[in-house]
């Protein structure tokens, strides 16, 4: 190809829109496929039609043969029937009586109408439209003849030989006279004494008319011919124009499908005659063309619809490609700050490809930058990490060693790299564990402590051992595993942890003690949050309410105590008042609680919760009541005693007074009347 | 009482005698009836057609369209299909240009009558109308005529009497016959298909029923073998007749058919045919001219070759050669088969 043309094609390829190109390609492929399928389909149709027509012609040929067979057979059956009819035997009897066989000079009678020894014309038409009806006497001499179409009697019938009658007397006989085939059927009629009284013969030239007549109206639409000879030729046909007499079959084979069969072995024949059925190949071709034309039209419409559908789809895809291209441009601009290129026209896919290539380049550049940055960041992280970061290969050989590792283990990077990590940093007591852990991973591919902290005793360069915490992460790199060890000196932390642990132990102990105390006191203790939900209660409370602690936690005080609502109100008010209160409540079962609630506030004065302490004072109440009653009774007794005292004392006093009065009076009396006394 | 006893015995004796006579006469009548239904197997070889003297003097004159031939033969349909390749080989070997046509007995007879051929082939035993002065028949063999049905037909075996009654239209339904396991055949009407060729020649279908008037008026007649096979192969209720090889082998492209046994003997059982137990067959023969003007030594040699070929022919063609026929007691006059063997029972 010319070198100048290539850039032109490339330019065209780029400039032509994708939809146009795709449609063009589809049209070209469609035309090629159409041509190929048309070629195969045409051949396929041709073959199918040939087979169908062959089957059809076989079928037609069978029908034509059967019609012809029946027609030929009719001749002999008809002559037998005509010879046995009464009018014929009467006529023959009449001639016999006239001793017609003995006539020396005979005058042949030619009838122009059906003679009286034959059935009427309608019957003749029904049975057989023979051409010649011949009556001969006992000596085989022609005596009377009737020609249906007033045709002249053939010469051989004027003086027929005995062989003719012998061959035609038991079956229809096909023979050739004067190059014309004839069908002859005869019936010899014996006389009273067994002598031959006469012979009735039916004959007909086997010509076009005969053939057409044999096929009837139904068979007139198909082409049929009688053929004979070693190189078969037509002797009669039902279509002179297409199948002319004398035409050789082999010459017709390129114009007709031919099916030939049939020997007239139901009769006698000294003719090699066959019935051939023809079907014009032109008609098959025409039918084939018509069907193919219809199919081609259908195919063209289908292809057109397909192409249009495809074009629409491609257009839709192209629109999306354009959008994607636009999105890539926007992305490039926003992400990488690259100025978008001018909107190009042409192959949208190529434009997208170009944009994508640019984007790829941009991404690669960015990736390299990011990679560099990441490496730098990694380096910084590793170098400035508080932990020692050591990498090894799958054999445990140290590959990298950060500054913190130098600090923790005392070895410089140069000293440590290339040595086995186990020997370098692990204390003797943990060598085996460390080694087995690495071996386990190499064997099973599983890391028993993956992403978990391993605490081992590490060894400093100066020989002192310390507690170190490892985390190990394997990574697949360059076809091998590398192990990233992050190691931290946790000596101080461990000490802190120990302290915390001790503290925790103390706290736990205190907590246990507190809880034991909490549950051991006889008071019912509840702790409620801001919303007055019970967040804690002690066992006595649970026993008092006959519920489990779990059932109580989260509930309201009112759920468990009849006085709960009232208590809640009080607590709520007291929260505001920020002071503890004491209250007595009677429960639904008649028990008395002495409730103390103490709101608890944080250092900011925010309410945290309320601690409620309830003491069962039922007994106290009972004693109090009893005391009250005793007091009343005592008072009553006192009153009574006082009354009695008053009464008794008063009476005594009165008595004393009276006595005093008496004494006075006596005295007075005595004074006045000392004798009377 | 004694008189009464004697009378009684006499009555019984008379009754038995009458029964025996009736039975005997019934069997005799049935035998006669069967015999009368069967046509002749062969014609009288001594009788022949009377031809004019001028005819006898006529030499054999081939059809002009045959061209320059050294021998003209017309063979019957079966022999043409069996022998043509070997005859062509023979011609090639002997440097002969032999024109062979494929046709019928009637055509052979016609061509012989017109003296157009040297050798005429017949698939039927020659009738009187075939016997022309100076013409000699050479039997080449016999072949069983099979009765055949559609392969789906469950009937496998029928008696000769049943076969006759079927074609006569006296047995009309397959259910009137029994299958091999004793069950009745299908309840469908029997469709008899006949090809009543060569009515004036003895043998062939005439051994089943002598003449066309004996056949059922319902019988469907066809004009050639191909249509016969086609009809039976396409109708499960049909029955037809043809030589076994043509029916089951040569025309199998027309459809498959199944041959029936007659009285337990299959048409393929050539021993049964030889012994006369299989009753229906065709006689194949070829002719040579023996007249002064017509004799052809080349034709005589070819006939010998044909006979030898048939002797060595595969049994699958179903043709019994003359050597076996002679050995089995079939009667010959010269080279022509003229009678069946005497049956022992």
Q: Which CATH number does the domain housing residue A422 bear?
A: 3.30.450.20
User: CA-to-CA distance for B190 and B168, rounded, in angstroms?
Assistant: 11
User: CA-to-CA distance for B124 and B142, rounded, in angstroms?
Assistant: 9
Q: Which CATH number does the domain housing residue B242 bear?
A: 3.40.190.10
- Contact list in A for residue B223 (CB cut-off 8 A) is 65-66, 68-69, 72, 262, 264-266
Residues A147 and A259 in one domain: yes
Residues B160 and B203 in one domain: yes
Of B186, B183, B184, the residue nearest B153 (C-alpha): B186
Percent of chain A at pLDDT > 70 equals 93
Chain A: closest CA distance from residue B7 (Å):
53
Residue of chain A with shortest Cα separation from B194: A266
Range from A250-264, A265-279, A360-374, B75-89 carrying the lowest mean pLDDT: A265-279
Residues B174 and B211 in one domain: yes
User: CA-to-CA distance for A172 and A268, rounded, in angstroms?
Assistant: 6
User: CA-to-CA distance for B181 and B173, rounded, in angstroms?
Assistant: 18
Domain boundary among B274, B289, B312: B274
Nearest by CB to A267, which of B49, B106, B227? B106
Residues A158 and A184 in one domain: yes
Cβ contact, residue pair A163, B113, below 8 Å: yes
pLDDT at residue B320, as a whole number: 96
- DSSP-derived secondary structure for A62-114: HHHHHHHHHHHHHHHHHHHHHHHSHHHHHHHHHHHHTTGGG-SS---EEESS-
- DSSP-derived secondary structure for A253-287: TTTEEEEEE---TTSEESS-EEEEEEEEHHHHHHH
Domain boundary among A569, A593, A616: A616
Residue B267 within any structural domain of the chain: yes
Residues A459 and A525 in one domain: no
> What does the pLDDT average to over A667-674?
69
Residue A494 within any structural domain of the chain: no
Residue A299 within any structural domain of the chain: no
Q: What confidence tier does B11 reach under pLDDT thresholds 50, 70, 90?
A: low
Provide CB contacts within 8 A for A556, sequence distance 6+: A532, A533, A534, A564, A568
Q: Find the helix or strand (DSSP H, E) in which B102 lies.
A: strand B98-103
pLDDT at residue A219, as a whole number: 64
Higher pLDDT, A320 or A581: A320
- Contact list in A for residue B77 (CB cut-off 8 A) is 263
For the cut 90, the answer to whether the pLDDT of residue A217 exceeds it is: no
For the cut 90, the answer to whether the pLDDT of residue A457 exceeds it is: no
> What does the pLDDT average to over A347-363?
83
Residue of chain A with shortest Cα separation from B231: A62
Residue of chain B with shortest Cα separation from A266: B197
Residues A654 and A582 in one domain: no
Chain B: closest CA distance from residue A184 (Å):
14
Strands A273-280 and A223-228, how do they pair?
antiparallel
Higher pLDDT, A269 or B25: A269
Give Cα B158 to chain centroid, integer Å. Answer: 19
- DSSP-derived secondary structure for B120-133: EEESS---GGG--T
> What does the pLDDT average to over A615-620?
84
Residues B127 and B151 in one domain: no
Kindly calculate the radius of gyration of chain B based on its CA atoms and give it in whole angstroms. 24
Residues B332 and B237 in one domain: no
Chain A: closest CA distance from residue B119 (Å):
14
Range from A608-612, B246-250, B323-327 carrying the lowest mean pLDDT: A608-612
Strands A453-459 and A398-401, how do they pair?
unpaired
Residue B73 within any structural domain of the chain: yes
- Contact list in A for residue B106 (CB cut-off 8 A) is 263-265, 267-270
For the cut 50, the answer to whether the pLDDT of residue A676 exceeds it is: no
Residues A595 and A651 in one domain: no
B98 touching A (Cβ < 8 Å) = no
Residue of chain B with shortest Cα separation from A169: B200
pLDDT at residue A580, as a whole number: 59
Domains: count for chain A: 5
> What does the pLDDT average to over A558-565?
73
Q: Find the helix or strand (DSSP H, E) in which A121 lies.
A: helix A121-127
Q: What confidence tier does B88 reach under pLDDT thresholds 50, 70, 90?
A: very high
Domain boundary among B241, B274, B307: B274
> What does the pLDDT average to over A373-401?
87
Cβ contact, residue pair B110, A271, below 8 Å: yes
- Contact list in A for residue B66 (CB cut-off 8 A) is 230
Range from A174-178, A219-223, A494-498, A572-576 carrying the lowest mean pLDDT: A572-576
B69 touching A (Cβ < 8 Å) = no
- DSSP-derived secondary structure for B286-317: EEEE-STTT--HHHHHHHHHHHHHHHT--GGG
Q: Which residues pair with A470 in a beta bridge?
A: A454, A487
pLDDT digits (tens, 9 = 90+) for B296-345: 899 999 999 999 999 999 989 999 999 999 999 999 999 999 999 986 54
pLDDT at residue B265, as a whole number: 97
Residues B205 and B287 in one domain: no
Are residues A172 and A158 in contact, defined by beta-carbon separation less than 8 angstroms? no
Residues A483 and A538 in one domain: no
Of B237, B312, B310, B332, the residue nearest B76 (C-alpha): B310
> B297 exposed, middle or buried (CB, 10 Å; 0-12, 13-18, 19+)?
exposed
- Contact list in A for residue B224 (CB cut-off 8 A) is 65, 261-263, 265
pLDDT at residue B22, as a whole number: 56
Domain that holds residue A138: 52-281
Residue B34 within any structural domain of the chain: no
Range from A216-220, A261-265, A554-558, B291-295 carrying the lowest mean pLDDT: A261-265
Residue B27 within any structural domain of the chain: no
Chain A: closest CA distance from residue B328 (Å):
31
Structure ipTM: 0.77
Three-class secondary structure of residue B243 per DSSP: strand
> What does the pLDDT average to over B255-260?
96
Q: Which residues pair with B238 in a beta bridge?
A: B191
Domain that holds residue B246: 144-274
For the cut 70, the answer to whether the pLDDT of residue B41 exceeds it is: yes
- Contact list in A for residue B107 (CB cut-off 8 A) is 263, 269-272
Residue B316 within any structural domain of the chain: yes
For the cut 70, the answer to whether the pLDDT of residue B20 exceeds it is: no
Residues B258 and B286 in one domain: no
Higher pLDDT, A35 or B135: B135
Query: Which residues of chain B from 117 to 146 reach within 8 Å of chain A, CB to CB?
Result: 129
User: CA-to-CA distance for A270 and B108, rounded, in angstroms?
Assistant: 7
């Amino acid at each position: 190809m010319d070198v100048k043309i290539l850039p032109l094609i490339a330019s065209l390829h780029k400039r032509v829109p994708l939809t146009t190109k795709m449609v063009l390609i589809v049209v070209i492929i469609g035309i090629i496929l159409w041509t190929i399928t048309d070629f195969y389909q045409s051949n396929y149709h041709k073959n199918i039609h040939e087979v169908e027509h062959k089957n059809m012609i076989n079928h037609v040929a069978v029908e034509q043969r059967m019609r012809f067979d029946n027609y030929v057979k009719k001749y002999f059956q008809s002559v037998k029937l005509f010879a046995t009819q009464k009018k014929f035997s009467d006529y023959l009897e009449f001639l016999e009586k006239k001793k017609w066989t003995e006539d020396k000079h005979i005058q042949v009678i030619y009838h122009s109408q059906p003679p009286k020894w034959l059935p009427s014309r309608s019957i003749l038409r029904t049975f057989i439209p023979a051409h010649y009806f011949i009556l001969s006497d006992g000596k085989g001499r022609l005596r009377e003849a009737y020609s249906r179409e007033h045709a002249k009697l053939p010469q051989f019938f004027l003086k027929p030989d005995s062989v003719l009658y012998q061959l035609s007397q038991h079956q229809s006989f096909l023979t050739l006279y004067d190059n014309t085939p004839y069908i002859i059927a005869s019936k010899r009629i014996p006389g009273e004494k067994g002598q031959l009284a006469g012979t009735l013969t039916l004959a007909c030239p086997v010509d076009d008319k005969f053939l057409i007549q044999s096929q009837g109206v139904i068979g007139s639409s198909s082409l049929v011919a009688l053929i004979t000879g070693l190189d078969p030729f037509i002797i009669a046909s039902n279509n002179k124009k297409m199948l002319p007499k004398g035409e050789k079959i082999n010459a017709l084979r390129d114009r007709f499908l031919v099916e030939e069969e049939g020997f007239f072995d139901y009769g006698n024949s000294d003719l090699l005659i066959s019935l051939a059925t023809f079907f014009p190949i032109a008609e098959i071709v025409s039918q084939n063309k018509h069907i193919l034309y219809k199919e081609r039209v259908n195919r063209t419409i289908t292809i057109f619809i397909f192409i249009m559908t495809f074009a629409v789809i491609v257009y839709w895809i192209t629109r999306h490609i354009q959008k994607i291209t636009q999105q890539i441009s926007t992305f490039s601009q926003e992400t990488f700050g690259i100025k978008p290129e001018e909107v190009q026209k042409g192959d949208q896919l190529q434009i997208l490809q170009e944009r994508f290539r640019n984007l790829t380049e941009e991404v690669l550049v960015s990736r390299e930058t990011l990679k560099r940055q990441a490496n730098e960041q990694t380096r910084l992280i590793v170098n400035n990490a508080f932990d020692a970061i050591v990498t090894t290969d799958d054999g445990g050989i140290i590959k990298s060693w950060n500054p913190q590792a130098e600090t923790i283990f005392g070895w410089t990077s140069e000293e440590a790299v290339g040595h086995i990590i186990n020997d370098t940093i692990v204390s003797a007591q943990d060598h085996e564990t460390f080694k087995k852990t690495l071996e386990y991973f190499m064997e099973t591919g599983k890391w028993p402590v993956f992403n978990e902290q391993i605490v081992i005793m590490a060894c400093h360069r100066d020989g002192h051992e310390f507690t170190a915490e490892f985390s190990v992460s394997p990574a697949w790199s360059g076809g091998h595993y590398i192990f990233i060890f992050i190691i931290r000196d946790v000596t101080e932390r461990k000490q802190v942890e120990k302290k915390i642990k001790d503290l925790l132990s103390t706290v736990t102990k205190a907590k246990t003690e507190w809880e034991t105390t909490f549950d051991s006191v006889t008071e019912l203790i509840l702790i409620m949050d801001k919303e007055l939900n019970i967040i804690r209660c002690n066992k006595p409370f649970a026993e008092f309410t006959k519920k489990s602690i779990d059932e109580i936690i989260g509930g309201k005080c009112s759920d468990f105590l009849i006085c709960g609502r009232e208590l809640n109100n009080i607590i709520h008010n007291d929260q505001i008042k920020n002071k503890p209160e004491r209250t007595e409540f009677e429960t639904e079962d008649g028990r008395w609680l002495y409730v103390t609630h103490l709101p608890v506030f944080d250092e900011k004065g925010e309410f945290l919760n309320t601690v409620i302490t309830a003491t069962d004072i039922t007994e106290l109440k009972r004693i109090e009541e009893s005391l009250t009653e005793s007091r009343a009774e005592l008072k009553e007794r006192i009153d009574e005693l006082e009354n009695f005292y008053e009464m008794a004392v008063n009476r005594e006093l009165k008595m004393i007074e009276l006595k005093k009065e008496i004494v006075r009076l006596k005295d007075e009396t005595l004074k006045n009347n000392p004798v009377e006394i | 009482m004694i008189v009464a006893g004697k009378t009684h015995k006499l009555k019984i004796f008379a009754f038995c005698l009458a029964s025996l006579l009736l039975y005997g006469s019934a069997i005799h009548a049935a035998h006669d009836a069967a015999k009368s239904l069967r046509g002749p197997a062969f014609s009288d070889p001594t009788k022949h057609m009377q031809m004019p003297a001028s005819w006898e003097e006529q030499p054999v004159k081939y059809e002009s369209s045959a061209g320059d031939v050294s021998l003209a033969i017309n063979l019957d349909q079966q022999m043409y299909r069996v022998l043509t390749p070997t005859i062509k080989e023979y011609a090639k070997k002997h440097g002969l240009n032999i024109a062979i046509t494929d046709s019928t007995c009637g055509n052979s007879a016609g061509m012989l009558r017109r003296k157009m051929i040297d050798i005429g082939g017949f698939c039927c035993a020659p009738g009187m109308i075939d016997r022309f002065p100076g013409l000699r028949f050479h039997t080449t063999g016999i072949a069983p005529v099979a009765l055949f049905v559609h392969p789906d037909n469950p009937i496998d075996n029928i008696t000769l009497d049943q076969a006759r009654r079927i074609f006569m239209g006296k047995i009309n339904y397959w259910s009137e016959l029994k299958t091999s396991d004793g069950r009745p055949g299908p309840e469908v009407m029997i469709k008899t298909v006949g090809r009543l060729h060569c009515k004036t020649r003895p043998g062939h279908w005439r051994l089943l029923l002598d003449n066309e008037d004996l056949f059922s008026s319902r019988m469907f007649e066809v004009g050639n073998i191909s249509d016969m096979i086609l009809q039976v192969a396409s109708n499960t209720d049909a029955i037809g007749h043809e030589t076994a090889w043509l029916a089951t082998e040569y025309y199998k492209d027309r459809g498959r058919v199944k041959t029936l046994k007659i009285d337990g003997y299959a048409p393929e059982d050539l021993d049964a045919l030889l012994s006369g137990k299989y009753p229906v067959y065709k006689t194949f023969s070829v002719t040579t001219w023996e007249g002064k003007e017509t004799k052809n030594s080349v034709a005589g040699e070819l006939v010998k070759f044909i006979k030898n070929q048939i002797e060595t022919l595969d049994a699958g063609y179903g043709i019994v050669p003359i050597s076996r026929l002679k050995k089995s007691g079939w009667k010959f006059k010269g080279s022509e088969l003229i009678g069946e063997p005497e049956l022992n029972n």
